[in-house]
Amino acid sequence: MQFADLKIVLSRKAVWPAAVMSFLAAGLFVFIELAEEIMEGEALDFDEALLLAFRNPADLGDPLGPPWLEETALELTALGGYPVIVVLTLAVAGYLGVAAWRGAALYVLASVAGGSALSALLKRFFERPRPDIVEQLDVIHTASFPSGHAMVGTVTYLTLGALLVRYAKTRAEMIYVVFTAGVITVLVGLTRVYLGVHWPSDVVAGWAMGLSWAAFVWCVVAVIEYRAQISAIGSRASGYLIGRGKVEP
């Protein structure tokens, strides 16, 4: 056993990556700022303006663009819906379990399930009404704040992206994974506004809290892995010293 191993672990694993912690903090800050405005019952200036920007001024029931764009938005928004999220999560977790990567499977399940539960609780707490100034072009069943599609979609795709990044061999692969996960989450959120089922602030809050939750779970897993590695190195160090006769077995 080389004590250089301990140095590597301490330098890379002992402190959570600054980027992840900054994402967690920034997401919480944005969510709290928006939540305070919602709780005070204040209308956000950009909400109505952005919502109307996606509609034909002569007919607010008609979103901008050709008919195929509306159909595309309905299909893309399903990427953040529970049916797709549940199927995708179970499929990935099932594969990880079969491949004997049970820790990774538990990570995915805990992150997505926890994020979904948190989204539901937040909706119940705020009970913000859905937009009523434009026609809603998708079926809705819950309150508006935060956007469940935006939040749960962000948690799911960032969690899967974080998992894939760990196995990326080049920087290009890492950038591709992060970029793809980001694009999907942004598209899902934009479709919610385009379809008139969410205020823009709902979506921003969903992105923010989804980012914070995904970062939080990643940090918890990182701490668990770090402690396990330190424990393993400690055991190897004890065996090394015992073998050299420097400590009593």
Would you please indicate which residues are annotated as catalytic (active-site) residues?
Answer: 149, 198
C-alpha 232/C-alpha 111 separation (Å) is 26
What residues have CB less than 8 Å from 18, skipping those under 6 apart?
Answer: none
C-alpha 143/C-alpha 55 separation (Å) is 22
| Strand ranges in the chain using DSSP code E only, listed in sequence order | 55-56, 59-63
What residues have CB less than 8 Å from 113, skipping those under 6 apart?
Answer: 89
Which one, of 160, 158, 188, lies nearest residue 79 by Cα?
188
**Burial of residue 144, with CB atoms counted within 10 A of its CB: 0-12 exposed, 13-18 middle, 19 or more buried:** buried
Which one, of 125, 139, 128, lies nearest residue 202 by Cα?
128
